[in-house]
């Protein structure tokens, strides 16, 4: 049976990896929707190669470039309000891979049109899990996390009760500065901070990985997805990025989940979900297993870990404050406005503002609340000299 697929954010790394996997078995899939923001050239190439009828490109200039071509076999749209025009029935599988809070509303709106949705949009799971989870239940849509850490835990639990979990450890490579002396952090330049030792990612997420803010978000995701107390979640640095998660059960057993350093493995498994048994992968890497080098996080070197002390076990709008603050301050760094050593200082100072601490007590009720708060936080940051 041919499975219908939609990909939100098809021109990014996750979207491209998924298309590469689908291309190996094209006869089993029909891609009915691809979306992008600006990258009209790549989007159009993807559409032609996979014979995709529907495209959404949200950047107006890029949209007009494709529209001017007057392509007969493609329906072109400029925003996600068009989903109701595109879908009369649910697709079998959706990959949500739009980065940032721009992906929140499309992810939420696509749930009702999907039998199964794989979500790689971290911000949606951090800021709006309660709303997304309600929509998943309402629409009877199956959810699979895409992040290698969360997919590893989800796959390993295999419907086991989370009450049996004593602790989950998520691993972090530590980025390019794991072994760099703290005294030299004020000399770090943008070029060095973008040299991740294990993963090829976008600039923003590479910086988040180097500060471990990315791992902070993943702990919050795990709290939400698996309905666990933060007390049961920890981070360990693991420079090899071979172990993705460890689960310690209350019966004494420990599961260690490892796979090669590639997102192809979790993406492949969200797509096929045990429909076929095999994926080509490297043999077991015994050298890496014999040299795991797992360690507790150095909080002096990675002070953003302390963000986890500022949140509680219930989702709130304060998570949106944290995400928006990090986004804006990292953008300042990438634009050369602040030093690398300023990133964590400015984030921790800003989110400790009394004006924003009150959001710890407010649970998000609508997607629009999160979007408006995100705008407000960004404006507030840019109106101050921080």
* Tens of pLDDT, residues 118-129: 999 999 999 999
Say yes or no to pLDDT of 185 above 80. Answer: yes
Query: Mean pLDDT, to the nearest integer, of 237-241?
Result: 93
H/E stretch holding 379: helix 367-383
Say yes or no to pLDDT of 307 above 90. Answer: yes
Q: What is the structure's pLDDT at 244?
A: 95
**Strands 243-249 and 233-237, bridge-based pairing:** unpaired
pLDDT band at residue 234 using 50, 70 and 90 as cut-offs: very high
- Residue that the structure tokens 């739009």 belong to: 98
Cβ proximity of 130 and 225 under 8 Å: no
Quote the DSSP letter at residue 78: S
Half-sphere exposure of 150 (CA within 13 A, CB side): 28
**Strands 254-258 and 243-249, bridge-based pairing:** antiparallel
What average pLDDT is seen over the chain? 93
Contacts 24+ apart (CB under 8 A), 186-190: 186/339, 186/340, 186/341, 188/339, 188/340, 188/341, 189/340, 190/333, 190/334, 190/336, 190/340
- Residue that the structure tokens 């993963």 belong to: 199
Q: Which of 18-22, 79-83, 200-204 has the lowest mean pLDDT?
A: 200-204
For 5, 166, 171, 359, the CA distances from 250, given in Å and listed in that order, are 39, 5, 20, 34
Q: What is the structure's pLDDT at 277?
A: 57
Report domain extents, the chain.
Answer: 3-146, 150-261+284-315
Q: What is the dihedral of CA 365, 368, 369, 373, to 10 degrees?
A: 160
pLDDT band at residue 274 using 50, 70 and 90 as cut-offs: low
**Is the domain covering 3-146 a CATH 3.40.50.300 domain?**
no
pLDDT band at residue 368 using 50, 70 and 90 as cut-offs: very high
Q: What is the structure's pLDDT at 222?
A: 96
Q: Rounded distance, CA 348 to CA 322, Å?
A: 9
């Amino acid at each position: 049976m041919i499975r219908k697929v939609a990909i939100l954010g098809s021109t990014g790394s996750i979207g491209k990896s998924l298309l590469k996997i689908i291309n190996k078995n094209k006869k089993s899939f029909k891609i009915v929707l691809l979306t992008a923001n600006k990258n009209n050239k790549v989007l159009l190439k993807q559409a032609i190669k996979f014979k995709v009828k529907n495209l959404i490109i949200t950047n107006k200039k890029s949209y007009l470039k494709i529209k001017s071509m007057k392509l007969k076999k493609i329906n072109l749209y400029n925003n996600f309000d068009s989903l109701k025009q595109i879908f009369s029935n649910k697709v079998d599988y959706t990959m949500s891979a739009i980065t940032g809070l721009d992906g929140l509303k499309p992810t939420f709106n696509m749930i009702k049109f999907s039998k199964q949705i794989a979500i790689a949009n971290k911000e949606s799971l951090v800021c709006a899990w309660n709303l997304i989870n309600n929509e998943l239940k309402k629409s009877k849509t199956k959810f699979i996390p895409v992040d290698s850490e969360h997919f590893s835990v989800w796959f390993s639990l295999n419907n086991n009760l989370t009450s049996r979990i004593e602790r989950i450890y998520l691993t972090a490579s530590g980025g390019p500065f794991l072994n760099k002396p703290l005294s030299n952090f004020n000399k770090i330049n943008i070029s060095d901070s973008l040299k991740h030792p294990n993963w090829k990612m976008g600039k923003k997420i590479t910086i988040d990985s180097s500060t471990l803010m990315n791992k902070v978000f993943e702990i919050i995701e795990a709290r939400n997805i698996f309905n666990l107390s933060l007390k049961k979640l920890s981070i360990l640095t693991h420079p090899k990025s071979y172990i993705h998660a460890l689960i310690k059960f209350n019966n004494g057993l420990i599961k260690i989940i490892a796979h090669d350093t590639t997102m192809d493995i979790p993406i492949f498994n969200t797509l096929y979900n045990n429909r076929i048994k095999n994926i080509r992968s490297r043999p077991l890497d015994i050298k890496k297993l014999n040299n795991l080098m797992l360690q507790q996080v150095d909080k002096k070197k990675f002070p953003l870990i302390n963000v986890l002390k500022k949140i509680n076990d219930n989702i709130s709008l304060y998570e949106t404050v944290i995400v928006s603050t990090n986004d804006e301050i990292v953008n300042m760094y990438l634009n050369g406005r602040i030093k690398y050593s300023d990133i964590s200082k400015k984030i921790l100072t800003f989110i400790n503002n009394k004006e924003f601490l009150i959001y710890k007590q407010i649970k998000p009720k609508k997607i629009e609340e999160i979007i408006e708060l995100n705008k407000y936080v960004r404006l507030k940051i840019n109106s101050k000299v921080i």
